[in-house]
Structure 1
Amino acid sequence: MLRVMACGMLVLGLSGCFRTSVRTGAPRDGLPATRTEVSLFFGLTTPHVTASECRHGVSRVDVFSPWWGALVTVATVGLVMPLRTEYVCAEMPHGVSPEQQVPASIAPL
């Protein structure tokens, strides 16, 4: 029994948090926006983040698993994994007119 408990504690202790961060270095404009989406089938499909309201790109993007995400992942045997995306839009660069925005050739985030 002690061995089973030790193995269970080891498995729980080795499970980590998922977090990806991107920083562009652009000055921030406003407060962070947050979205919660899901990754399906053990991470084979991932959500696509679009920040269409960010006319001048993004300043930072964080994608992470919320604290309750592990419970959902275990309950669905890994078929559904919630992911939370938090991003902050970039400030308009100096010397750029308000009508200009990110070129269409740059794919959405």
Structure 2
Amino acid sequence: MLRVMACGVLLLGLTGCFRMSVRTGAPRDGLPEARTGVSLVYGLSTANVSAAECRHGVSRVDVYWPWWGALVYVGTVGFVTPLRTEYVCAEGTTSTQAAPEREQVPDSIAPL
């Protein structure tokens, strides 16, 4: 019985947490927006979150499990996992800003 309990504790400890962050380096425009989605069947399928209101792309994106996500994960035996997505839209360029110069590629490197 002690082995079964130890294995159960070990399995719960291996679930861990999930967090993914992407920073584009673009200046931020506005406050963070948040949406909740789900990951199905142990992460094989996830709900895509599109930021259609971000006309100039995103400045940063964070995807993570909410604090109550582990309870749902254990209760559904991993078939459903809630995910929280927070993003900030990027600021658009103005006509007064100069476009950044592209780095020149040496002639020795063939184009793709």
CA distance in 1, matches of 2:4, 2:80: 27
The offset of 1:7, in angstroms, is 4.0
CA deviations on 1:57-91 (whole Å, 9 max, x unpaired) are 10001111111111001111111110010000001
- Relative to structure 1, the CA distance from residue 78 to residue 88 in structure 2 (aligned partners, 3 Å threshold; closer, same or farther) is same
Pick closer, same or farther for the CA change 1:14–1:39 going to 2, 3 Å: closer
TM, length-normalised to structure 1: 0.77
SS in structure 2 at match of 1:77 = coil
- Give the length in aligned residue pairs: 96
Runs of 4+ with >2 A deviation: 1-15
For the aligned residue pairs, the C-alpha RMSD in angstroms reads 1.7
CA distance in 2, matches of 1:24, 1:6: 43
- For 1:34 and 1:84, how far apart are their aligned partners in 2? 7
User: Who is 2:29 aligned against?
Assistant: 29
Task: List alignment gaps of at least 5 residues for structure 1.
Answer: 97-109
| Residue equivalent to 2:13 | 13
Alpha-carbon distance in 1 for matches of 2:77, 2:8? 17
Identity %: 74
Alpha-carbon distance in 1 for matches of 2:73, 2:2: 26
**Inter-partner Cα distance in structure 2 for 1:44 and 1:7:** 25
For structure 2, the residue ranges without an aligned partner over 5 or more in a row are 97-112
Aligned position for 1:53: 53
Paired position in structure 1 for 2:86: 86
Tell me the TM-score normalized by structure 2: 0.75
| Structure number, greater radius of gyration | 2
